[in-house]
């Protein structure tokens, strides 16, 4: 029931990066559920991770390994989150890393583990270890679509994006994949996301690029206001193109943002049960923080989201959400609210020219923008979300059945 066509466009291979997706039979026999990425010896890696206090065992191991050594392999499994699993969960994640390390004669810290799926169940280590040799034997440079499918859980379609940007007269490639459909309010990164470039970038600079792109994309989406225990987003630069990208390169940052925003919006478009893609835009705020807070208040309101699902122009729900957002000294006389190009509220009441028919015409659309103008300053921000449907409740009520 995803929104939009889901067309991914051309997914360019990234020099120095190879990948494989195989079936370990973690939850369903034959389903792609184990993905391995191989990074060259010159690669640098940056990451951002969930702020959930109950972070999953692989998140803990991944952060520790990233601080100790240069990563050479990512190992990702679906079907099991390895979260809420205590010391045994840490040991299980390390066993997976150790298997790759021994096969490739690398330090165990050079392997980064990632998991997604059901919380509270121990990782089926034997199944994953049995699948790893097959994955390592089938690494190829250009298998993005299969790998994007291999990290899906309740996703209905893969998420991937790719661009090429000219840096100093030479092409630099950026390609990435992500997964996520529910338990979505990243609050730092995405559910699972992996973006790669063939540029050569210093690790500290790479981290800055990642932080900026994440803040412009994954930190601007919400499906259900829940932050996962397993969120990780990694950015790797192989250096294989020989093109050096220094700090604060605007061309590279813009291209990277484009990939990240495409992935983030892809998650919202494929949100559990979603039938509509919603942009909430707040303009004229006094400070950036109030714009973002207000945008999230509207985007996460169950009453607003269910009205959107019903295509009901019940503008009072939006107005009420704006009023309860906690903006200090809000002058409602200066506030205007729009559905698309239709002004529904101004000067604290329904807009004089508003008609139900005009509001209904906007609400019938698959993609809708809610724009809120505060008249307090020059700050703006945007959040992307979806509607709340019967299917969202069904999917999550039956998640473990």
What average pLDDT does the structure give for the chain?
96
> Which one of 210, 245, 269 terminates a domain?
269
> Quick one: 82 and 194 in the same domain?
yes
Strand partners, 160: 177
Is residue 190 predicted with pLDDT exceeding 70? no
pLDDT at 345: 97
**Between helices 125-137 and 86-104, what is the axis angle to 10°?**
20
> Which one of 237, 269, 301 terminates a domain?
269
Distances (CA, A) of 264 to 38, 45, 79, 153, 206: 24, 20, 22, 16, 19
What average pLDDT does the segment 157-165 reach? 97
Residue 372 domain flag: yes
First to last CA, the chain: 20
> Quick one: 264 and 178 in the same domain?
yes
In the chain, how long is the greatest CA-to-CA distance? 73
CATH number of the domain within which 333 lies: 3.10.20.340
> Quick one: 64 and 190 in the same domain?
yes
How do residues 239-274 score in pLDDT, each as one tens digit?
999 999 999 999 999 999 999 999 999 999 998 999
CATH number of the domain within which 103 lies: 3.60.70.12
> Does 190 qualify as catalytic in the annotation?
yes
Q: How confident is the model at residue 189 (pLDDT cuts 50, 70, 90)?
A: low
Three-state SS at 340: coil
> Quick one: 244 and 152 in the same domain?
yes
How do residues 75-127 score in pLDDT, each as one tens digit?
999 999 999 999 999 999 999 999 999 999 999 999 999 999 999 999 999 99
Total structural domains in the chain? 2
User: Tokens representing 314?
Assistant: 């019940």
Q: What does the DSSP 8-state code read for residue 244? A: B
pTM of the model: 0.95
Domain that holds residue 162: 17-269
Residue 188 domain flag: yes
Q: Which of 44, 190, 222, 279 is catalytic?
A: 190
> Quick one: 264 and 283 in the same domain?
no
Residue 109 domain flag: yes
Residue 11 domain flag: no
Residue 133 domain flag: yes
> Quick one: 126 and 178 in the same domain?
yes
Question: Using CA atoms, how far apart are residues 297 and 20, in angstroms rounded to an integer?
Answer: 40
> Which one of 223, 249, 269 terminates a domain?
269
> Quick one: 208 and 309 in the same domain?
no
Question: Using CA atoms, how far apart are residues 263 and 153, in angstroms rounded to an integer?
Answer: 16
How do residues 306-345 score in pLDDT, each as one tens digit?
999 999 999 999 999 999 999 999 999 999 999 999 999 9
Do residues 252 and 237 touch, judged by C-beta distance below 8 A? no
């Amino acid at each position: 029931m995803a929104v939009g066509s889901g067309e991914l466009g051309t997914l360019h291979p990234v020099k120095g990066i190879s990948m494989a997706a195989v079936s370990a039979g973690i939850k369903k026999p034959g389903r792609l559920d184990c993905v391995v990425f191989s990074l060259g010896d010159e690669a640098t890696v940056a990451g951002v991770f969930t702020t959930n206090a109950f972070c999953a065992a692989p998140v803990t191991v991944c952060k520790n390994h990233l601080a100790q050594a240069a990563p050479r392999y990512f190992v990702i499994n679906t079907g099991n989150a390895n979260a809420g699993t205590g010391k045994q969960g840490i040991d299980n994640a390390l066993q997976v890393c150790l298997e790759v390390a021994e096969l490739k004669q690398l330090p165990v810290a050079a392997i980064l583990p990632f998991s997604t799926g059901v919380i509270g169940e121990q990782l089926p280590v034997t199944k994953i270890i049995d699948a790893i040799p097959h994955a390592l034997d089938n690494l190829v440079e250009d298998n993005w679509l299969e790998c994007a499918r291999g990290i899906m859980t309740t996703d209905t379609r893969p998420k991937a994006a790719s661009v090429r940007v000219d840096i100093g007269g030479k092409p630099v490639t950026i390609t990435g994949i992500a997964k996520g459909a529910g338990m979505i309010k990243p609050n730092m990164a995405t559910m699972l996301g992996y973006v790669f470039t063939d540029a050569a970038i210093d690790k500290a600079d790479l981290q800055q690029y990642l932080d900026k792109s994440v803040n412009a994309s994954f930190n601007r989406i919400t499906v259900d206001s829940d932050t996962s225990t397993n969120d990780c987003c990694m950015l790797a630069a192989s250096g294989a193109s020989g093109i050096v990208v220094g700090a604060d390169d605007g061309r590279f940052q813009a291209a990277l943002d484009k990939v990240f925003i495409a992935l983030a919006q892809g998650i919202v478009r494929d949100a559990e049960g979603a039938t509509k893609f919603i942009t909430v835009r707040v303009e004229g705020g006094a400070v950036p923080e109030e714009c973002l807070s207000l945008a999230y208040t509207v985007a996460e309101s169950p009453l607003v989201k269910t009205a959107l699902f019903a295509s009901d122009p019940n503008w009072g729900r939006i107005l009420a959400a704006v009023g309860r957002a906690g903006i200090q000294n809000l002058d409602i006389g200066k506030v205007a609210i729009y559905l698309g190009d239709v002004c529904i509220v101004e000067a604290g009441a329904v807009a004089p020219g508003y008609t139900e028919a005009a509001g209904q015409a906007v609400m019938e659309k698959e993609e809708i923008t809610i724009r809120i103008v505060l008249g307090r300053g020059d700050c703006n921000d945007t959040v992307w979300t979806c509607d709340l449907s019967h299917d969202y409740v069904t999917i999550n009520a039956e998640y473990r059945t």
